[in-house]
Chain A
Amino acid sequence: MVVKSIIKPNTFYDSVQLMRIANQLEKDSDIVDIAVLMGTNQNKSSLKQSNLLTPEVEKASPNDLFIAVEAKDEETAARAINEAEEMITGAEDKMSYSSKGPIVYSLDGALEHLPEANLAVLSIPGNYVKEEALQLLDKEINLLIFSDNVPLDDELTIKRKAAEKNLLVMGPDCGTAIIDGTALAFANKVRKGNIGLVGASGTGIQEVSSLIHNLGEGISHAIGTGSNDIKKEIMGITTIEGLKRLNEDPETDVITVVSKPPALEAAEKIMNAIKKINKPVVVLFLGAHQEIDRGENYYIAETLEDAVLKSIALASDSNLKSLKKAYNKEIRSDLQGINNEIDNLQQQQRYVRGVYSGGTYTSEAAMLLNEKMSKVYSNAGTEGCLKLPDPMVSKAHSCVDMGEDEFTAGKPHPMLEPAMRHERILQEAEDPSTAVLLIDVVLGYGVHPDPAGELTESITQARKIAEEKGRYLPVVAFVCGVEDDPQVKSEQEKKLKEAGCIVLPSNAAAVRTAAIIADRQNYENVFKEGGF
């Protein structure tokens, strides 16, 4: 094997473009490993476990781009580097000549083009965020900060300055927001309506907003807060600000909080803010074990799906039980053939194996399985579940978040590149104790253009592996998204069904279905005719 690397000094490209290039080249079977990254300390340290951290790469500065390749011979490595360079130039040409909107090279240039700009979406390396964010706040511009690795001190400084100026800061590490019908970063094209969302869970907001849309209602605004907002250092500054703004917003009738469990101190402050809201509030702190006092204006939800049904009942003045009944009826019709799936299982096939791209879905899956089953492992740190000793290998019932750092170091996130789940899906199929595979497919702006198309290749291969070994492998999936998303929900679901998947409308329904299969239960006892 040969490792080659080059540095392109003072050359900056965004991380998504670079990872896409690396991923394209990695498809060549003669290339063992490749990284096309900026020379930040974080990127370099992510390569420590690989052979790509050459002495040359070690010297790269954060402003330098490096290409490092491990290949079967010199020629392949050199060719890969050349191709990477050509693709980088191609990406630049694409932006310069084919973009559908204006491109500028300075903040002044941006403001000249759009003097009344009221929101900036920032997705630059974390250590540069504070300087840019403070400048934008000085120009009276609200912020969505997608960047992660922003020091907590910087986050606090930015949020305090925004509060002084009565501006809103979503993030850092905010992956999803919908403002006045516009999907920002990774979000779905949902209809406008009277339910406002706020919270520290990007994929959670995606599922709640999409399900609300798919059940006929809509979203006024969805305010992402970023994952650190609920830590004790930040104390929910954006969550509380978002609640206040949605409370004052005439288009919002119901507010839904969708969040991972906040730190105890932050949770108390957020709950105090919720009690002052004069609209009904649905609160989901997914997986939280702390008791929350019942209040007059708020309702506690247990799952993303539960938050959706409660929000719709409040927003449309409908009966919750009737809504659940109608919802279950739809699920029951999806499960008509499930007994055949169960009958085809071998005795040793006992376990659910969730191979996820979304962290919130992984946590929800582990939480729901843990309610009914013993020995539920996860790498998502779900309270009450066992921690997978080695995230690379499943044990008993396992829910793996493939978006965690151990899988994405120097690689694209599985929402951007679904094929990075390929090897893991095949690995689960090889295991004779796997009873059912559980997967999520996330649609929307910013994510892969055809995630189901990519995954069906892996699913077909996985089912074939099981079949060759005399087993049958059921696959349960859910698609987070809506019909107006660039990928079109019905087309994505069709691809999954054609590959033999059972497709459910929500993560919770998919998890319960996977549990029915692994435990050989009667689905009619789980998705009851009268609701759940």
Chain B
Amino acid sequence: MSQQIPGSELKVINIGIVDFAESLFAQNTEAVHYEWKPVQTDKEVKNMLDDLL
């Protein structure tokens, strides 16, 4: 691959839909799947703690 699009050898971080990571692994592309979750707000964390305590 050329330097321009977008690097010398494709190395991919897949964030979100796991099927896309599986497709990359199936193509033997160097890749890692980041199992993304939304960051919780302080208020949500507080509510969770209130539920637990």
Residues of A that sit less than 8 Å from B by CB: 9-10, 12, 14-17, 61-63, 95, 99-107, 109-111, 113-114, 116-125, 128, 132, 136, 141-142, 146-147, 167-168, 179-180, 182-185, 189, 221, 223, 245-246, 248-251, 445-446, 486
Quote the shortest CB–CB distance from A115 to chain B (angstroms): 9
Known: A16-B17, A250-B2. A486 touches B26 (CB 8 A): yes
Q: Is the CB of A62 within 8 A of B38?
A: yes
A16 to chain B: which residues have CB within 8 Å?
Answer: 17-19
CA distance A527 to B47 in the complex (A): 68
Number of interface residues of B (CB under 8 A): 39
Quote the shortest CB–CB distance from A213 to chain B (angstroms): 15
A245 to chain B: which residues have CB within 8 Å?
Answer: 2, 4-5
Known: A128-B38, A182-B29. A446 touches B13 (CB 8 A): no
Q: Is the CB of B18 within 8 A of A119?
A: no
Q: Is the CB of A103 within 8 A of B36?
A: no
CA distance A109 to B40 in the complex (A): 19
Residue in B2, B11, B21, B24 whose beta carbon sits within 8 Å of that of A118 in the complex: B11
A10 to chain B: which residues have CB within 8 Å?
Answer: 40, 44, 48
CA distance A390 to B37 in the complex (A): 38
Residues of B that sit less than 8 Å from A by CB: 1-2, 4-27, 29-38, 40, 44, 48
Known: A10-B40, A117-B12. A105 touches B26 (CB 8 A): no
B16 to chain A: which residues have CB within 8 Å?
Answer: 14, 121-124, 146-147
Residue of B nearest to A167 (CB): B6
CA distance A109 to B35 in the complex (A): 10
Residue of A nearest to B16 (CB): A123
Residue in B10, B38, B48 whose beta carbon sits within 8 Å of that of A119 in the complex: B10
Task: Give me the 4 closest cross-chain CB pairs, A-B, nearest first.
Answer: A118-B7, A123-B16, A180-B1, A142-B6
Q: Is the CB of A120 within 8 A of B33?
A: no
Quote the shortest CB–CB distance from B53 to chain A (angstroms): 16
- Given contacts A121-B20, A147-B16, 6 further A-B pairs with CB under 8 A are A63-B44, A111-B13, A114-B31, A117-B13, A118-B6, A124-B15
Enumerate 16 A-B pairs (CB-CB under 8 Å) in ascending A order. A14-B18, A16-B17, A100-B22, A101-B21, A103-B33, A105-B37, A107-B34, A114-B32, A119-B7, A119-B10, A120-B13, A123-B20, A132-B15, A142-B6, A251-B2, A445-B20
Quote the shortest CB–CB distance from B24 to chain A (angstroms): 7
Q: Is the CB of A122 within 8 A of B26?
A: no
Residue of B nearest to A92 (CB): B35
B29 to chain A: which residues have CB within 8 Å?
Answer: 182
Quote the shortest CB–CB distance from A119 to chain B (angstroms): 5
A125 to chain B: which residues have CB within 8 Å?
Answer: 38
A248 to chain B: which residues have CB within 8 Å?
Answer: 2, 4
Quote the shortest CB–CB distance from A500 to chain B (angstroms): 32
Residue in A124, A147, A168 whose beta carbon sits within 8 Å of that of B6 in the complex: A168
Known: A105-B35, A106-B34, A486-B26. A15 touches B5 (CB 8 A): no
Quote the shortest CB–CB distance from B13 to chain A (angstroms): 4
Residue in B19, B22, B33, B40 whose beta carbon sits within 8 Å of that of A104 in the complex: B33
Known: A121-B14, A250-B2. A182 touches B20 (CB 8 A): no
Residue of B nearest to A139 (CB): B13
CA distance A486 to B26 in the complex (A): 9
A123 to chain B: which residues have CB within 8 Å?
Answer: 14-17, 20
A124 to chain B: which residues have CB within 8 Å?
Answer: 15-16, 36, 38
CA distance A223 to B6 in the complex (A): 10
